[in-house]
Amino acid sequence: MTSLARALAAMTLGALVGLAAPRWWRQGGPTPGADLEVDRTRRAVSFPATLHPDALEEVDPAGHHLVTWVGGRAGHKALLRTSAPDVAVLDALEALGGRACDGLREETWTRRHDPDHPAPDLRAAGSPLAVTVRPPGGQERDVADLLEDQDGQGFDWRLAGNRALIEVWRSGCVVCLQSCPGGRVGNARATLRDHARGRSRFRASALARRLGEGAPLTVTLRLVPRELGHDIRERVRAHDQPKGPLEPGW
């Protein structure tokens, strides 16, 4: 191959990579209005959110949405509400190397009360994630600290994706507390069958209520090694979180 041919090939490859990447990624910053911060070293995406402790119990369905985009149909139903669109968060995590499963089906939600249908028993898969929150001037804590897990099922956050189903509900759900086809990130520890039968119940923790309605927080979704994904709360807390009394800001 001549020098000219090699140069042309490199230019073509570069153009294709640029076209495949989201616009914010090519420009080195977030899409206008997306309010995203991307840390390529940590493989993490962060965005601002506000805390709403009563939302988990006062909306229908209760105990279901953890983080939602305020522009979605479920924007008012989550414990944490953000100005960052769910699609932008998904784009960012995939650009960082995250692999979405896209294995949940529309019937996983619509047939959740049907005891004979297998779809509500499906679990979110995809790349494992750590989900943390941080107050202004404070340090990161596991998002589970904002929750009371009434049934003790725990958390295994997965990049479910569900891109093809976004237009079905347009919920704006970024993180769901169960394996839901309407969310970009799901909890593989709980199915929608569990939720329908009252086996996956959540409410705001004492810490969340102490922080109060409208408290500003930064939410971070970080891709983690697969071996951490099976027990994300205990292992990520032990690996990353500071010990001792509550840090400033909490």
Q: What are phi and psi of 246, to 5 degrees?
A: -60, 135
Mean pLDDT of the chain: 83
Structure tokens at 37: 């911060």
Kindly indicate the confidence band of residue 58, based on its pLDDT and cuts at 50, 70 and 90: confident
* pTM for the whole structure: 0.80
Q: Per-residue confidence at 10, pLDDT binned at 50, 70, 90?
A: very low
Question: Three-state DSSP class for 152?
Answer: coil
- DSSP 8-state code for residue 159: -
Neighbours of 239 (CB within 10 A): 11
Residue 213 DSSP one-character state: T
Structure tokens at 113: 């009360």
Angle at 78 between CA 34 and CA 218, to 5 degrees: 50
* 169/42 Cα distance (integer angstroms): 32
- Tell me the pLDDT tens digit for each residue of 128-162: 999 999 999 999 999 999 999 999 999 999 999 99
Confidence of residue 68 (pLDDT cuts 50, 70, 90): very high
Q: How confident is the model at residue 7 (pLDDT cuts 50, 70, 90)?
A: very low
Residue 203: pLDDT over 70: yes
Which tops the pLDDT comparison, 30 or 149?
Answer: 149
Q: 161-178, pLDDT tens digit by residue?
A: 999 999 999 999 999 999
Strands 80-82 and 129-134: unpaired
Q: Locate 235 and state its tokens.
A: 């292992």
**Which of 115-119, 148-152, 236-240 shows the lowest mean pLDDT across its residues?**
236-240
> Which has the minimum average pLDDT: 22-31, 105-114, 130-139?
22-31
Q: Which of 8-12, 41-45, 92-96, 100-104 has the lowest mean pLDDT?
A: 8-12
Strands (E), 111-250: 129-134, 141-142, 147-149, 157-158, 173-176, 183-187, 202-204, 216-223
Q: What percent of the chain has pLDDT over 90?
A: 70
- Which DSSP category does 166 fall into? H
Average pLDDT over residues 220-235: 67
**Buried/exposed code over 35-59 (b: 16+ C-beta within 10 A; e: otherwise):** bbbbeeeebbbbbbbbbbbebbeeb
pLDDT at residue 53 in the model: 96
The pLDDT confidence band at residue 248, using thresholds 50, 70 and 90, is low
